[in-house]
Structure 1
Amino acid sequence: MATLEDIARTLGVSKGTVSKALSGAGGVSDAMRKSVVETAVELGYSRICRKDASRRIAVFITNMDYAKPEDFGYDILAGFRKLAEPDGCQVVVVPLSCALENSVPYDAYMMQHNYLGGLFLGLSLNDPWLEDFKTCKTPAVLYDNCVPGNPRVTSISVDNAEAMDQAVRYLKSLGHKKIGYLSHALGSYVYQQRYQAFFRAVQANGLPCSESLGKCDFFTSVCLSEHLPALLEQGCTAIVCSHDRLANSVLIDCQERGIRVPEDLSILGFDDLPLCRFTPPPLTTIRQNRAELGKSAYFALSSQLHDVSISLIQLHTELIVRSSCGKAPRRPQAKKRIPRAEPVTKKERNDEA
């Protein structure tokens, strides 16, 4: 493990200059501070082993709301803080953007801001720091993302395979013989995992598993105007959605089309957001305990800080049965006249984006 002396020797400066640069103290130029941080990262220096290290931990959040109790990220952050703060850690929420990620490497950013490690919520497959995580020295915990091969990176999630099997088995028990899947675009690791898990589940349960039964798009409007009718025309009597907000949109769209839920079509979501109790009708869904995910994230990060390398933590899911799923209808919507929604205009797509 590199020391302050190693950094000072490499740059030809005093140990005091290195210490000031890394602690953010005055008396050091910006150029020197940048050189010290870059050299420290290159040599593998870590604050983890320092007795005087500030116990600051960053929670990086992007593409996820977290400020209000009904927001997806609220309980994850609360669960993380519930363990981290009594353990003497200061938790700092950092809004993450591609501009930030492109401006500085992950290790250098963490060194500059005196963070021991980070939790990441909402990353997409295009985030620049995903490349950094392959070789980073600073501990990182990724929610619903995976970067294999680096002992300093831990992935946490629910077991999506278990979740999809729960969903499909339940719908099959209600007599559904053809189940469709509707998702937003597969631009994130978790949406890809759920998509693949759905098809493994229907195949394992002896149900049709044609690729045409899985539909996805970046725009909710396209999911509703094009993909939902396409699934109904194939004879689907139940649809599993990749997340609850999409499922809620499907419920509303079905109301407008005169499709009764669950008499004509069963809808099943994923996440169990607070809104699920109030959708028309209340939404059957897969619950992931977000508070426990937050606690697991701190457990993983704390383990990393104590030199216990954890690759993956997966939590169990729970099927929450409400009123949006019922017995399969005798006559699928494919054999009825399916009301057509108005085509989505380019302007509407731009407004949604």
Structure 2
Amino acid sequence: MTTIQDIADKMGVSKSTVSKALNDAPDISEALRKQVLETAVALGYTKLRRYKKPTKKVCIIIEKENMRYQEPHHFAYDILVGFRQMAEPAGFDVEIVPVDIKTQRSQHYDVFMLKHDYIGAFVVGFSLSDPWIQDFKISRTPAVLFDNYIVGNPSTAYVGIDNEEGMELAVSYLAGLGHRKIAYLSSSLGARVLQARHAAFLRSMHQHGLKTSPAAIGCSYYLSECMEKHLPRFLENGITAIICNQDTLASATLTQCQQLGFQVPDDISIIGFDDLPIAACTSPPLTTIRQDRLELGKSGFFALSSLLNHIPISTYLLHAQLIQRESTRKIPL
């Protein structure tokens, strides 16, 4: 096990200097503190003194450019609540840490965690292009990633819902209503979870003997492109149902269809994904696939607790649930 003396020997400085740097002493320069932290991480050092404190510090790291969380109607709000409901009674001090790409590029994930005295993190809202996604491949500080999966690092775990099951529920439901021409509309595939849902849609369509084609699939980073390019193509090609990869996109699709003169669900059925509060408030209310976000937050803590206890959990998936509302209907005979 790496000690403070090992770090001091590696850097050629005194043990007291390393100790001061690790404990944020004011007489240590920022440059030296950074060098000590980076050396400590490289040698595999962990601050064992943290476990002796009455309260153990963990954090929820949120990519603030990708994920909203401050208000009850925001997607991540209940996830954070669920995590804290389990962590705080168990004696953990939970801090919410918004980060962006600039923060990630400025220091390695392990260095950031060591610097701020966190023993583990629940990571929410990261896309595949975020710098710390690469750090997680070799990081040593326990990290549970919501909707992201890292191969080969026992210090990381993945928490989410079963997207395969969720998409099967959506396709199976529409097929049972008589729909054969089903389209898929998605925002950018820059996140692992969105790639997973896209692939799950294709597999489920194949399993039900339903044809897919490029003309019935639309993916774009921009909502305007989804509405102005992909949606009109679907409607022109006689699509009778659209599965959207998230509720906000489904809500926009529903509104745009109505503005184009199509009645939902009489002319076209629409299914969303997530069951955000907005889904029950659209007109008509939106059929969707529910993610229980409160339970996802609790699962994030269970997974992190496992990693902190040296149990190399890999994946923790919750079941998806079909919520039937009024945006879908049976195809008339």
Deviation at 1:51, TM superposition (A): 3.6
**Counterpart in the other structure of 2:76:** 73
Q: Name the aligned partner's letter for residue 211 of structure 1.
A: P
Deviation at 1:9, TM superposition (A): 2.3
C-alpha contact 1:60 1:118 (8 A) present in aligned 2:
yes
Deviation at 1:329, TM superposition (A): 4.5
**Counterpart in the other structure of 2:246:** 243
**Counterpart in the other structure of 2:288:** 285
Q: What value does the CA root-mean-square deviation take over the aligned residues?
A: 1.4
Residue of 308, 314, 321 corresponding to 2:311: 308
**Counterpart in the other structure of 1:232:** 235
CA distance in structure 1 between the partners assigned to 2:9 and 2:229 by the alignment: 64
CA distance in structure 2 between the partners assigned to 1:77 and 1:109 by the alignment: 21
C-alpha contact 2:122 2:144 (8 A) present in aligned 1:
yes
Deviation at 1:50, TM superposition (A): 5.2
Cα deviation code 1:144-179 (max 9, x no counterpart): 111111111111111111000000010011010111
After the TM superposition, which of the residue ranges 277-286 and 58-67 deviates more from structure 2?
58-67
CA distance in structure 2 between the partners assigned to 1:277 and 1:30 by the alignment: 51
CA distance in structure 2 between the partners assigned to 1:294 and 1:248 by the alignment: 25
**Counterpart in the other structure of 1:337:** none
CA distance in structure 1 between the partners assigned to 2:151 and 2:48 by the alignment: 22
After the TM superposition, which of the residue ranges 249-258 and 237-246 deviates more from structure 2?
249-258
| Unpaired runs of at least 5, structure 2 | none
**Counterpart in the other structure of 2:149:** 146
Secondary structure, aligned partner of 2:218: strand
C-alpha contact 2:50 2:56 (8 A) present in aligned 1:
no
Deviation at 1:100, TM superposition (A): 0.4
Cα deviation code 1:82-126 (max 9, x no counterpart): 011111111111111110011111111111111111111111111
Q: Name the aligned partner's letter for residue 18 of structure 2.
A: V
**Counterpart in the other structure of 1:61:** 62
Secondary structure, aligned partner of 1:57: strand
Matches within 5 A, 1:256-267: 256-267=259-270
C-alpha contact 2:50 2:117 (8 A) present in aligned 1:
no
Cα deviation code 1:199-232 (max 9, x no counterpart): 1001001111223321111111111111011112
CA distance in structure 2 between the partners assigned to 1:309 and 1:261 by the alignment: 47
Secondary structure, aligned partner of 1:72: coil
Q: Does 1:86 pair with 2:116?
A: no
**Counterpart in the other structure of 1:124:** 127
Change (3 A) 1:48 1:206: farther
After the TM superposition, which of the residue ranges 226-235 and 125-134 deviates more from structure 2?
226-235
CA distance in structure 2 between the partners assigned to 1:264 and 1:130 by the alignment: 43
**Counterpart in the other structure of 1:347:** none
CA distance in structure 1 between the partners assigned to 2:106 and 2:259 by the alignment: 47
Indicate the percent of aligned positions where both proteins have the same amino acid: 50
Matches within 5 A, 1:99-178: 99-178=102-181
CA distance in structure 1 between the partners assigned to 2:119 and 2:12 by the alignment: 26
CA distance in structure 2 between the partners assigned to 1:165 and 1:327 by the alignment: 18
**Counterpart in the other structure of 2:192:** 189
C-alpha contact 1:244 1:271 (8 A) present in aligned 2:
yes
Cα deviation code 1:5-32 (max 9, x no counterpart): 2212222333333222112233323232
Deviation at 1:48, TM superposition (A): 5.4
After the TM superposition, which of the residue ranges 237-246 and 10-19 deviates more from structure 2?
10-19
Secondary structure, aligned partner of 2:238: coil
Q: Name the aligned partner's letter for residue 124 of structure 2.
A: L
**Counterpart in the other structure of 1:6:** 6
C-alpha contact 1:195 1:214 (8 A) present in aligned 2:
no
User: Structure 2 length as normaliser, TM-score?
Assistant: 0.95
C-alpha contact 2:186 2:220 (8 A) present in aligned 1:
yes
**Counterpart in the other structure of 1:17:** 17
User: Structure 1 length as normaliser, TM-score?
Assistant: 0.90
